[in-house]
Amino acid sequence: MQTENNLILITGGGSGIGRGLAEAFQALGNQVIIAGRRKQVLDDTTRANPGMVSYVADLQDSAGIRAFATRIAKDFPALNVLINNAGIMRVENLLAQQDDLADMEAMVATNLLGPIRLTAALLPLLQKQPRSVIMNVTSGLAFVPLAMTPAYCATKAALHAYTQSLRYQLKGTATEVLELVPPYVATELMNGGADPRAMPLGAFIAEVMALLKTGPNTVEICVENVKRLRFAAETGKYENIFQGLNQAMAQPPQ
């Protein structure tokens, strides 16, 4: 991915990893648009980063996504990078679920259907550009699930598979398809910001940007902290890592 001279849309860009990426890309001279559900969070981010633009968008709403994509295409016809980062993560007790499965359905709608729908809506615009990028943000938990968050892990595993298929279908075109695989990062997601076991957000963003600059042909962006999860199956250590992860996360942080 070329890290400069882009017009970039980042979903979930008002906080956490999304905001970190938005600020890092803007610092390199890119024009950045952020989108999310919480107007106050978006406003705080744009206020702190003059020149950044924000839109309120709910990725659980299929009709709203189409309308949002239409507006983006009209306002920013040169858009050439889409970063699907928005996501929600909730603990679920599968033995005591409510009949309506509201939490699970919200995660599927936001984490999986949202990126698929927005990609489909914006792909015609992206393919008009001389070069373009779609980056989907998955998780190390796509490869080794955290049992207390089953639907979240399932959506990220599905997004990984979708990303692979999208990349294959777009091979030979000017649209590059990347996957960013975060570890446990110190953000508000699952209260990671208060957990010393989480990777500091600033360190994560710095390593990601360095990888993007130095590895132009890399399709999966994996910082060192996530490689243990990402390659658990390949190294033959999956069962040990699965058990260790779930035992460790069942304990409160020290």
Q: Residue 237: how many CA atoms within 13 Å on its side-chain side?
A: 10
- Within a domain: 1: no
What CATH number is associated with residue 99?
A: 3.40.50.720
Confidence (pLDDT) at 254: 65
- Within a domain: 119: yes
- Within a domain: 123: yes
Confidence (pLDDT) at 100: 82
The boundaries of the domain holding residue 219 are 7-249
How many independent structural domains does the chain possess? 1
Contacts (Cβ under 8 Å, ≥6 apart) of 187: 15, 16, 17, 193, 198, 201
Indicate the SS3 state at residue 10.
Answer: strand
- Within a domain: 157: yes
Q: Which residues are catalytic?
A: 152
Q: Could you tell me how many residues make up the chain?
A: 254
Exposure string (b/e) for 186-199, b if CB count within 10 Å is 16 or more? bbebbebeeeeebb
Confidence (pLDDT) at 141: 98
Which residues does the chain have with pLDDT short of 70? Answer: 190-193, 216, 254
Whole-angstrom distance, CA of residue 13 vs CA of residue 22: 6
Contacts (Cβ under 8 Å, ≥6 apart) of 84: 11, 114, 115, 118, 119, 134, 135, 136, 137, 159
Whole-angstrom distance, CA of residue 164 vs CA of residue 216: 17
Helix 150-169 vs helix 114-126: angle between axes, to the nearest 10 degrees?
A: 20
Whole-angstrom distance, CA of residue 115 vs CA of residue 136: 8
Confidence (pLDDT) at 191: 65
- Within a domain: 2: no
From edge to edge, which strands make up the β-sheet containing 220-221?
A: 53-56, 31-36, 7-11, 81-84, 132-137, 175-180, 220-221
Q: Kindly report the pTM of this predicted structure.
A: 0.95
- Within a domain: 230: yes
For the stretch 7-30, pLDDT in tens is 999 999 999 999 999 999 999 999
The DSSP code for 177 is: E
Amino acid at 89: M
Per-position DSSP letters for 40-55, written without gaps between them? HHHHHHHHHSTT-EEE
Confidence (pLDDT) at 193: 60
Sign of the CA dihedral running 184, 187, 189, 194: positive
- Within a domain: 254: no
- Within a domain: 20: yes
Whole-angstrom distance, CA of residue 174 vs CA of residue 46: 30
